Amino acid sequence: MRAINLVAVGLGAVAGLLSMVFAGLIGLAVLWLGARAGIETGDTVTWAVLAIAMFGGEHVAGYVAGRLVPPFFARMHGAVAALVVYAVVASFSLVTGSPAGTLTLAGFALVAAIIGHLAGAFGSRSSLTDQT
């Protein structure tokens, strides 16, 4: 295998995006229920929910991509899948008018690559026991 397995990266990215949407909806439902109960939550809690959803989605993408390839390639595929998830989120953010600067986008891309790299390594570790 000398190239990136596009199926593994694609499945990882789809799984990451779906988990991100699921986590975001659960977080927003909890915030909505809190507002209905009269609990005042600030913008900080909303941003925390969105950050957990985004970083969790990148982690899931890296894990799934790392699980679907041989262990030697798992970290690279995990990082690429997490970067694909980040690219989708950043694209939507920029299209809707986000004032994020180039350095901010590059920093979050680096964070996404690190999260995907570690998640891919974690995904490959658990697949080693399945082969015996």
- Over residues 90-120, the pLDDT tens digits come to 999 889 988 888 899 999 999 999 999 999 9
Per-residue pLDDT of the chain (132 residues; tens, 9 = 90+): 568 899 999 999 999 999 999 998 988 888 888 888 888 777 778 888 888 999 999 999 999 999 999 888 999 999 999 999 999 999 998 899 888 888 999 999 999 999 999 999 998 875 445 554
Q: Which two tokens stand for residue 4?
A: 């990136």
Question: Would you kindly state where each structural domain of the chain is located, as residue ranges?
Answer: 6-126
Q: Max alpha carbon distance in the chain (Å)?
A: 57
Q: Quick check: 113 and 83 in contact, CB under 8 A?
A: yes
- Give one word for 38, left, alpha or beta, with left for phi > 0 and alpha for psi -120 to 50: left
What is the number of alpha carbons within 13 Å of residue 67 lying toward its C-beta? Answer: 17
pTM of the model: 0.85
Q: What is the CA radius of gyration of the chain?
A: 16
